[in-house]
Structures are given as C-alpha cells and as structure tokens.
Amino acid sequence: MSAPRRNALAAPLLEGEDDVSPLLPLYLRRSASNTTSQVAIVGSNICPIESLDYEIIENDFVNPDWRSRELVQICQYMLMKWILCFLIGHIVGLLGFFINLAVENVAGMKFVVTSNMMLARKFVMAFLVFASSNLSLTLFASLITAFVAPEAAGSGIPEVKAYLNGVDAPAIFSLRTLIVKIVGSICAVSSSLNVGKAGPMVHSGACIAALLGQGGSKKFGLTWKWLRFFKNDRDRRDLVTCGSAAGIAAAFRAPVGGVLFALEEMASWWRGALLWRAFFTTAVVAIVLRALIDVCMRGECGLFGKGGLIMYDVTSVNISYHLWDVPPVLLLALVGGILGSIYNYLLKKVLKIYNVINKNGVALRILLACSLSICTSCLLFGLPWLASCRPCPSDPSEPCPTIGRSGNYKKFQCPPGYYNDLASLFFNTNDDAIKNLFSKNTDSEFHYSSILLFFATCFFLSIFSYGIVAPAGLFVPVIVTGAAYGRFVGMLVGSKSNLNHGLFAVLGSASLLGGSMRMTVSLCVIILELTNNLLLLPLIMIVLLISKTVADVFNENVYDLIMTLKGLPYLENYAEPYMRQLTVGDVVTGPLQIFHGFEKVANVVHVLKVTRHHGFPVVDEPPVSESPVLFGLILRAHLLTLLRSKAFSRTPSPVGRDAIALFSADDFAKKGLGHDDKIDDIVLSDEEMEMYIDLHPFTNTSPYTVVETMSLAKALLLFREVGLRHLLVIPKFSGRTPVVGILTRHDFMPEHVLNLHPLLANSRWKRLRLRFPQLRKLV
C-alpha cells in the first residue's frame, strides 16, 4: 500500500500572518490546522456525526443487480413503495389520534378535579393538586427522556431536517426514541408546559418511516426479502420525507400543508415521484383521522369531544374587508416579523445557558425541568387572580360560566353568572386556548390587560420551556402566542376595521410563525386548513411575506439556529459569498489514504483501524496500468464486508466470477439502525493478513469528481444538490498523483473554511444582516 499522502496545499501558517500581503495565494495565508468540531449534541450526548450515502454506486458487482434482471422484482419494488407509504400514513394517523386523545383526557381530568376544588372554595388544595399533577407529569417525561432516549428531547424537527440534508445522527430514529417521544410528548403537553405536540409528531412520523424502511429485522424474524429492497439511504430518505409530511398532517389535520411543509422546510432534495407519494401518505392520514373523529363526535372519547385535533371555525357569514383594513394588517405583519426575530434571539441565548446546565449531569437536567414546571404552575394558577370577573354575555354561544371542561368562559374564583377571561386562556390546553382566541363573535370577551398579560407569559414560557429534557414542540406555542398578539392588535383597532378580533388572532399567529420559522407557502396552507377560511388567503399571504422578510434581516429561522447550536453540519442551499474567492484546492486537507486495486489485507486492516475515513480512492499504478490512474472510490462499509467474508487470494490477481457470485446485493446493503460493522470485530489470522484482496469489482468506478481549480461555491452546490458524501478532487495538470484529496460535508462548513482562512472572517463579502453589538453586550 502506498504511504499516506498529504495534500501539498496543507501548508503551515507563515510567521507574522497579520502582515502577510493580500496578494499571496490563499493557501499560504490559512491557519495551520483545523480545530472545528465534527461532533454534535444529539439529545444531551456528544456524538460523532457522519453523512449518508445517497450516491448510486456503479461497479462490476452492482451492474448485474436484481433490478436489471427481472420485471417482477421491479414491480415488487414499486408496489412496496406505495404499501409502505400507506402503512406510514395509517400508523401516523392512528398515532396522532391517540396522542390527542391522551392529552385531552389527561389534561382534561386534571382541570376537572382542580375546577371542582375551586367550586368548593378549596383554593390552596386546588393549587396543590394542579401543581403536583403538572410536576409528576413533567418529572416522568424528563426521567424517561434522560435515561432511556436523550435523542427524544426537543421537537425533533432540526434532527429530521438535518437527516434529510444528509446528516446521520446516531439513534434519532430508533424504536426507543419513538416510544419515548410519544409517551414524553403526551406527558409534557398534559403538564401545562407551554410546549406543543406538532414537532414531536413530525419526529415520530419520521421514526415510523425509518423503522419501516430499514429492511426488516433478523431479531424479530422479519426477513421477508421484499423488505430488503429499501436497505439504502436513498429510499429511506424518501420514506422519512413522507413520514415528516404525515406528522404535520396528523398534528393539524392539514394534509396539503404537511406535503408543502416537507417540501419547503424539511427536504433538501425533491422530485415529482416523491411529491405523489407524500401526497398519498398525507391523504391516508386525513382519512384515518376523519373516521376516528366521527367516533368522538358521538361522545365515545371521554373528554376528547371536539378538541385535540384542532379545526378552528373563525368564518363569519358576512365577512368582508376593504382597502382601509389593509394598513393595520401590514403593521401587524411588520411588528410580528420583529417579534419573531426577537423570539429566535432570546431562544438562542436560553438554549446556550441550558446547554451549560445539561453538561453538568442528568440530575441538573431533571431539576431544571421540574423547576420550570413549578414556575409554570404558579403563573398559570396565580395570574388569573389578577384579572377581574366579567359578567356573562346575555346570549353566549356556550354555557357561561364553563365549569371543568374546555370553553370560553371559565368560572375560576368568580361568583355565579361571572367568568374569568384570563383563566379561560390559562386554564386550558394550548389547543383550546387557541380556539378561544380564534373564536368569532367574541370581541367583547377579553380585556386589554388580560390579553397583554397572556401574550407576555406565553412568549417567555415558550422560550424557557423548549430546552428542557423532554419532548417539546414550538409550533403550537408560537401559534397561541401569535394569536394573543393578533387579538390585542384587533382590540386596539376596534371598530375601525371590518375584521373581527378572531380574524386578527389568526393573522397574528401567521405573523409570528412567519417571523420565527420563516416559512410562507406551507404555513399559509396549514393556517387555511386549520381555520377552514379561504377568504383570509390574501391577507395571510401578505402577512407571511412581510413578517418573513423583516425577520430575515436580523437572524436565521428558529430551526436553523437550533441546528447550529446542536452542531449539526447542515448545508444551506446557497454558498457564502466569500466561498467564491476560494477553490476546492484551498480547503481540501490531508493526509489522504489511497488503496491500490490489489491491496494486502494487513494494509487494509491497518488503515481502517488508524483512520475514521469512510471513503478511500482506489488507484492503479504500474504494472497494472501504464501510469497512475484513478480507478474509483470504495466505502469503508464495503471493505468491512469484504474482510468479514474473507474473499482473499494469495497473489495480487483478479478475483474470479465464481468468487463474485458468492456475494449478493444484500451483503453490501445499508445496515439497520445501530448495526454497523466495526473493524475490531473482525478476526483474521496471520496467514490471512498476508494475503491480497481485489478491490476492482467492488469499487465505485464513477465517483463524482471536480478539478482542484473549481470554486468552492460551485462545488458546494454540486455536493448538496446531488446529495454526495464524498467528492474527489483531481489535479488540473497531468503528471501528478491522480487524486488530490476528498471533499466531505465538513469541508464546506463555514466554521471550517474560516478556521483555515481566518482573513476571510473580516471580508466585505458577507450576507446582508443587521447586527447590534451593543445589544449583544447587554444580553
């Protein structure tokens, strides 16, 4: 085997770099080494990050694969895709109904018991029951998350989004993560924490899709050969995309919104066939939910009733708006974009503090969650005492006051015939609070101070509740916070607008969602499917466009911020401007490990043990070829398969067809979750170590390559759009080694590039974004 080869561009830093002339080549002005990390925070654990292999491998062995032999097997493959999409939609629909049913009944029972004690004037006992039940639910959710599956903490959307970008974070789709995500989400939402279940639903849908598509399980006897069709990252990526779309569809009963959410926010790679399958999956979810909700409408679901799976009726029979109604909406969108950027900024600061706390052990993580639960209970129970009792309307649309169950008129501590408007919002699940805020014909229901206090409380509670060690989503908290903001704007506008306060609440939710999550098309459709009101379409479009545009000036969307904090190497669909000043040769580093086409087994084992590389160039040199030539690229996983099968020969000679026939496509397929081979598990004798292995039949002979003078920005777009894991860099001129280096995902990360070339950090070529250094010092 050839000795380790270091790229000539990996030159040491020159002394006195600050005084180096700007005319020097960039590679002579970069730092000596790369100190950026290649690990990420998955849950609460620091884990090494790897990439997924989306590239189609072409070699002598794969060409006679089963897909090119029999039409029956191709039909089986296509049929299984649709069957798995149907199963994903069906299971996610059932799961969404079960989660909502559990939340409504658990939280509803808690509110019924507390309300009964309030009616008996046992206020202290009512608070103790309310706070202790919330604490118990939060504690249980935190314990199972911390000790069973730390990967289930948070919403899961950043991890799924990173996976669809090509990042393979450990255990994010395991069975235990799915179970903890479901149970923990039910407990966390039922505990009155200001968290949502939409994000966990997306993660759960992706888990279900990944588990169904991992190709069966030998442990449970599921070895049907049809299941092995999907043992590759490309097909599994498509299934996870469908699962994430199904999660949103199940959370909001928004099938079209789920497809658009997966397209706009989640997927980094899309095609027409995937659009059809995602649409089919969400359609199955919608049908399943519709059938199950009909059962609940007959009163057979306990406290579930009409809540849970939210569909907010905000349509007025004679709704109309005119040109003079637009300026208040524009102002609402402008302020909503600013509020959304502030929300993201504060959330980033809080998560940094939480990361410091979480590093100090499990006990502190659980203590943090419990402390937040107690504070939340005190606020939810104590703040309604500040609101004055209001007389019930003369013709209420529902019983007033509402006792125990969800409704617009909570009695709380008020006398008969009166209700507490702030308790109607605090003493409900988030879904029912949103329903109250969106309600039509309730313009006189809430007081200014109550709405403002509710908005401020939800705004900060949702920020502090997200980072705890429990499944927690951001969608619903942002919706309810934005609804309070929009309702307050509607109350300020008053009779000067034809829009009622409930419609302003809908627009407020849209503005804060656009300002925080920076989506437009998918959010617009989700809100329309939630409210069943197409008349608001033009206003919602304007609000989302303005709020997103304004917020983009200040910072990134909330999920990108979280991915950055977690260390997930997400590749954006654009290149930083300074990348156009660099070539790929300026960032590729060594040492580069190269294999010969005929390689000694001992050399292969040594390289696999001393490196963590997952791809190795295969080069043929004389006498195999007239001059050194790049034959292709072979993956670590395939090398491990060859070593495990011991397909060796005593001399460096081509392997025969009989030896190739001993392998099947399944031998080189993607392993199941958590079942990767390790070089230390392979035992070889001294005699076998001196034998040779022919890498030619198993090497990818058509890897993607770029010349070393290509701009880094251009290479980044190629790497991301194709979904590569390895990009070979070849020399511009002949007479040199046939491969200069390998570019991986890490080489395109801005942190890595700026660490290699620190002078670019002060470059004038930066993306437009406002900075407030004085504000940063204060915070």
Q: Which pLDDT does position 311 carry in this prediction?
A: 56
Q: Which pLDDT does position 342 carry in this prediction?
A: 96
Please state at what angle helix 71-119 crosses helix 272-297, rounded to 10 degrees. Answer: 40
Q: Report yes or no: 412 and 118 within 8 Å, Cβ to Cβ.
A: yes
Q: Which pLDDT does position 779 carry in this prediction?
A: 46
Spatial separation of the C-alpha atoms in residues 257 and 254, rounded to whole Å: 5
Spatial separation of the C-alpha atoms in residues 386 and 407, rounded to whole Å: 20
pLDDT at 19 over 80: no
Q: Which pLDDT does position 7 carry in this prediction?
A: 36
pLDDT at 12 over 50: no
Tokens of residue 214, six digits: 């991992």
Q: Which of 59-73, 169-183, 393-407, 617-631 has the lowest mean pLDDT?
A: 59-73
**Sign of dihedral through CA atoms 749, 755, 759, 761?**
positive
Chain center to CA of 295: 33
- With residues binned 3-state (H G I as helix, E B as strand, rest as coil), the percentages for the chain, rounded to 5, are 55, 10, 35
Task: Give the DSSP per-residue string, 315-343.
Answer: --TT----GGGHHHHHHHHHHHHHHHHHH
Neighbours of 353 (CB within 10 A): 12
Q: Which pLDDT does position 661 carry in this prediction?
A: 66
Report the half-sphere exposure of 601 (CA within 13 A, side-chain side).
25
Spatial separation of the C-alpha atoms in residues 638 and 658, rounded to whole Å: 19
pLDDT at 557 over 70: yes
Helix (H) or strand (E) holding 620: strand 615-620
Q: How confident is the model at residue 770 (pLDDT cuts 50, 70, 90)?
A: low
Q: Which pLDDT does position 421 carry in this prediction?
A: 86
Instruction: Kindly provide the b/e burial profile for residues 186-213, where b requires at least 16 CB atoms within 10 angstroms of the residue's own CB.
Output: bbbbbbbbbbbbbbbbbbbbbbbbbbbb
Spatial separation of the C-alpha atoms in residues 179 and 204, rounded to whole Å: 9
Spatial separation of the C-alpha atoms in residues 488 and 492, rounded to whole Å: 6
In terms of pLDDT, which residue wins out, 327 or 680? 327
Helix (H) or strand (E) holding 617: strand 615-620
Find the mean pLDDT for residues 14-39: 42
pLDDT at 84 over 70: yes
Chain center to CA of 753: 25
SS3 419: strand
Spatial separation of the C-alpha atoms in residues 591 and 739, rounded to whole Å: 12
Find the mean pLDDT for residues 256-273: 91
Q: Which of 149-163, 445-459, 670-684, 728-742 has the lowest mean pLDDT?
A: 670-684
Q: What is the pLDDT of residues 560-596, one digit of tens each?
A: 999 989 888 899 888 888 888 889 988 887 678 899 9
Spatial separation of the C-alpha atoms in residues 504 and 491, rounded to whole Å: 9
pLDDT at 16 over 50: no
Spatial separation of the C-alpha atoms in residues 457 and 379, rounded to whole Å: 8
Q: What is the pLDDT of residues 396-417, one digit of tens each?
A: 667 777 766 666 788 888 888 8
Find the mean pLDDT for residues 176-182: 95
Spatial separation of the C-alpha atoms in residues 666 and 345, rounded to whole Å: 48
Q: Which pLDDT does position 15 carry in this prediction?
A: 31
Q: How confident is the model at residue 253 (pLDDT cuts 50, 70, 90)?
A: confident
Find the mean pLDDT for residues 256-284: 93
pLDDT at 776 over 60: no
For Cα atoms 152, 158, 163, give the angle at the middle one, nearest 5 degrees.
90
pLDDT over 90, % of the chain: 42
Q: What is the pLDDT of residues 690-731, one digit of tens each?
A: 999 989 888 988 899 999 999 999 999 999 988 899 999 999
Task: Give the DSSP per-residue string, 21-52.
Answer: -TTS-GGGSS-SS-----EEEETTEEEE-EE-
Spatial separation of the C-alpha atoms in residues 767 and 539, rounded to whole Å: 30
Task: Give the DSSP per-residue string, 98-133.
Answer: HHHHHHHHHHHHHHHHHHHHHHTT-HHHHHHHHHHH
Q: Which of 31-40, 349-358, 465-474 has the lowest mean pLDDT?
A: 31-40
Q: Which of 377-381, 487-491, 735-739 has the lowest mean pLDDT?
A: 735-739
Q: Which pLDDT does position 646 carry in this prediction?
A: 84
For Cα atoms 283, 285, 290, give the angle at the middle one, nearest 5 degrees.
95
Range ranked top by mean pLDDT from 55-69, 373-387, 403-417: 373-387
Polymer length of the chain? 779
Q: Report yes or no: 478 and 195 within 8 Å, Cβ to Cβ.
A: no
Q: What is the pLDDT of residues 111-154, one digit of tens each?
A: 888 888 888 888 899 999 999 999 999 999 999 999 999 999 98
In terms of pLDDT, which residue wins out, 413 or 181? 181
pLDDT at 91 over 50: yes
Q: How confident is the model at residue 86 (pLDDT cuts 50, 70, 90)?
A: very high
Which residues does 499 contact at the CB level (< 8 Å), separation at least 6? Answer: 319, 321, 325, 329, 490, 493, 507
Spatial separation of the C-alpha atoms in residues 726 and 367, rounded to whole Å: 43
